């Protein structure tokens, strides 16, 4: 049992609890129970004004509030630390945020928050009541560290609203579910107010965006982990994860939205020098502006052996002058699109090949290239070829008469030109990948 100030005559060093200020903790999801707003606010104020840590008992307590709790700093800008201990905070109102975090340059730390509205104030299943004033946490002009759970708000699960203020070096580790928006970041582009932050969000079942950072919010030098699944429930025109202004960030993103137009959208011109890692590599709906790098499953977007779940296509194989005759020919491929780049992988095999002349050509690619040069890498398996270096043509990705000059590499590491006359008489297979602009 934890010691409290009241129970032990305000002993020095004992943790401060809302129960010391009259909180009852008998709130219900239906909206009944004692109104603990005043007691919780007095608890927060005491922690703030006396520079002591606060601890909220759980033990199945649920604290009903009927207006926002505010964690604003006092004039001394003392560090504020409150552990909510996953005790349920039930917001029985829908005109503002459940918790408003504001203040100045000192750190505020809110650990293990557990925020949700009463039943009458909650986001309904049809997502038709999207009151943007009803949300979980609002942060303005303060450095924060916030961890916990936010769910069922009609507005934003988490709203960072920042105008000409500073929240640099903040940290978030939040799970958000069944809100209108998930994590929603706003700001003032002139203030450079969201630099060198760490973000970890798990966001599911929201009506619109899972994670959204608007163009007036400059995100710079972040390390961010975003898991966004089954969002865009009522607005299928948006992406699960959308960032409109970011520079020099490292993102790890898993985005799987069944109904979304796009999984990840970094297409705004203000997104530059970002490194984006994603476990999703099966759709052509990741939008990028120039100056960004993407990794699929730990592989840089660029020439790579791509064997994941992509959009299927059937590659063809032939000679540039006359086609050889194949016995038992089978071919399959996958492709995906990132911005204006097509990534395609293929596997072609046969039991015997005779005749034909000219360079070997892989054709029937899913789109035509728009640039004169088509860079790429081909990984060749089980092909009997000479160790010489000349170009290999890619039919179907040409721009006019130019078929590009990709490098072909045998599985032995040798560069080579593949001629139809070099095909061995027996069974063989060809696997590889390439990328090109469209």
Whichever domain contains 166, its CATH number is 2.160.20
Whether residue 214 lies inside any domain: the answer is yes
DSSP characters over 217-250: S-EES-EEEEEEES--SS-TTSEEEEESEEES-E
Residue with the two structure tokens 């730990």: 298
Same domain, 219 and 344: no
Same domain, 334 and 421: yes
DSSP characters over 331-395: EEEEEEEETTEEEEEEEEEESEEE--BSBEEEE--SS---SS---EEEEE-S----S------BT
What is the C-alpha separation between 290 and 277, in angstroms, rounded?
Answer: 16
What is the C-alpha separation between 127 and 181, in angstroms, rounded?
Answer: 11
Tell which residue, 22, 15, 25, has the closest CA to residue 41: 22
What is the C-alpha separation between 290 and 270, in angstroms, rounded?
Answer: 10
Alpha carbon separation from 430 to 277, 345, 352, 410 (Å, rounded): 28, 11, 13, 10
Examine the fold and report which residue of 300, 329, 363 is the final residue of a domain before the chain moves on. 300
Q: Rg of the chain over CA atoms, in angstroms? A: 29
> Which range of residues forms the domain containing residue 242?
18-300
Percentage of residues in the chain with pLDDT exceeding 90?
36
Same domain, 318 and 249: no
Tell which residue, 121, 127, 264, has the closest CA to residue 207: 127
Same domain, 194 and 326: no
pLDDT tens-place values along the chain, 438 residues long: 344 444 433 455 567 999 999 999 999 999 999 999 999 999 999 998 888 999 999 988 999 999 999 997 666 667 889 999 999 999 999 999 999 998 766 689 999 999 999 999 999 877 766 667 899 999 888 889 999 999 999 999 998 876 556 788 899 999 999 999 999 998 776 666 788 999 999 999 999 999 999 988 889 999 999 999 999 999 988 999 999 999 999 999 988 888 887 888 888 889 888 888 876 544 446 777 766 777 654 444 433 333 334 578 888 888 878 888 889 999 988 777 665 667 777 788 888 888 888 777 788 877 776 654 455 555 555 554 444 333 345 555 554 444 444 555 555 455 556 677 766 666 777 777 666 666
Same domain, 325 and 345: yes
Whether residue 54 lies inside any domain: the answer is yes
Tell which residue, 148, 153, 159, has the closest CA to residue 118: 153
What is the C-alpha separation between 175 and 157, in angstroms, rounded?
Answer: 9
Same domain, 296 and 329: no
The burial of 302, by beta-carbon neighbours within 10 Å (0-12 exposed, 13-18 middle, 19 or more buried), is given as middle
Whether residue 1 lies inside any domain: the answer is no
- Write the pLDDT tens digit of every residue in 92-138: 999 999 999 987 666 899 999 999 999 999 998 777 666 678 999 99
Examine the fold and report which residue of 270, 300, 330 is the final residue of a domain before the chain moves on. 300
Residue with the two structure tokens 């995906």: 336
The two structure tokens encoding residue 355: 């005749």
Q: What's the total number of domains in the chain?
A: 2
- Bridge partners of residue 178, in order along the sequence: none
Same domain, 261 and 163: yes
Same domain, 349 and 237: no
What is the C-alpha separation between 280 and 301, in angstroms, rounded?
Answer: 12
Same domain, 202 and 241: yes
Same domain, 47 and 152: yes
* Phi and psi angles of residue 434, each rounded to the nearest 5 degrees, phi first: -155, 165
């Amino acid at each position: 049992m934890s010691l409290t100030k009241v129970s032990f005559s305000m002993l020095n060093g004992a943790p401060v609890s809302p129960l010391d200020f009259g909180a009852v903790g008998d709130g219900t999801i239906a909206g009944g129970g004692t109104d603990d707003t005043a007691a919780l606010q007095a608890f927060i104020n005491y922690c703030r004004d006396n520079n002591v840590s606060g601890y909220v008992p759980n033990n199945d307590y649920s604290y009903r509030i009927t207006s926002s709790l505010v964690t604003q700093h006092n004039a001394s800008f003392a560090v504020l630390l409150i552990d909510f201990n996953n005790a349920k905070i039930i917001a029985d109102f829908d005109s503002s945020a459940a918790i408003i975090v504001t203040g100045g340059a000192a750190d505020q730390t809110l650990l293990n928050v557990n925020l949700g509205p009463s039943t009458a104030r909650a986001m309904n299943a049809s997502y038709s009541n999207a009151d943007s004033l009803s949300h979980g946490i609002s942060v303005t002009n303060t450095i924060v560290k916030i961890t916990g759970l936010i769910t069922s708000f009609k507005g934003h699960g988490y709203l960072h609203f920042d105008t000409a203020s500073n929240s640099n070096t903040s940290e978030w580790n939040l799970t958000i579910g069944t809100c209108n928006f998930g994590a929603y970041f706003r700001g003032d582009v002139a203030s450079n107010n969201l630099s060198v932050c760490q973000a970890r969000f798990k966001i599911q079942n929201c009506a619109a965006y899972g994670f959204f950072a608007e163009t007036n919010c400059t995100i710079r030098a972040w390390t961010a982990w975003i898991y966004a699944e089954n969002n865009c429930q009522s607005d299928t025109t948006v992406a699960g994860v959308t960032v409109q202004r970011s520079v020099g960030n490292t993102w790890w993103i898993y985005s799987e939205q069944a109904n979304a137009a796009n999984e990840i959208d970094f297409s705004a011109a203000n997104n530059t020098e970002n490194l984006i890692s994603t476990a999703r590599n099966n759709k052509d709906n990741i939008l990028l502006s120039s100056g960004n790098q993407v990794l699929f499953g730990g592989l840089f977007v660029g020439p790579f052996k791509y064997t994941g779940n992509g959009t299927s296509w059937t590659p063809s194989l032939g000679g540039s002058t006359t086609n050889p005759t194949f016995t038992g020919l089978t071919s399959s491929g996958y492709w995906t699109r990132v911005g204006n780049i097509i990534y395609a992988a293929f596997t072609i095999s046969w039991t015997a090949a005779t005749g034909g002349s000219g360079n070997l050509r892989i054709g029937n690619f899913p789109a035509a290239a728009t640039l004169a040069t088509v860079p790429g890498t081909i990984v060749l398996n089980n092909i009997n070829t000479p160790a010489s270096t000349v170009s290999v043509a890619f039919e179907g990705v040409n721009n006019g008469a130019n078929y590009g000059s990709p490098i072909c590499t045998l599985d032995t590491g040798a560069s080579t030109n593949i001629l139809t006359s070099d095909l061995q008489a027996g069974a063989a297979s060809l696997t590889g990948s390439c990328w090109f602009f469209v």
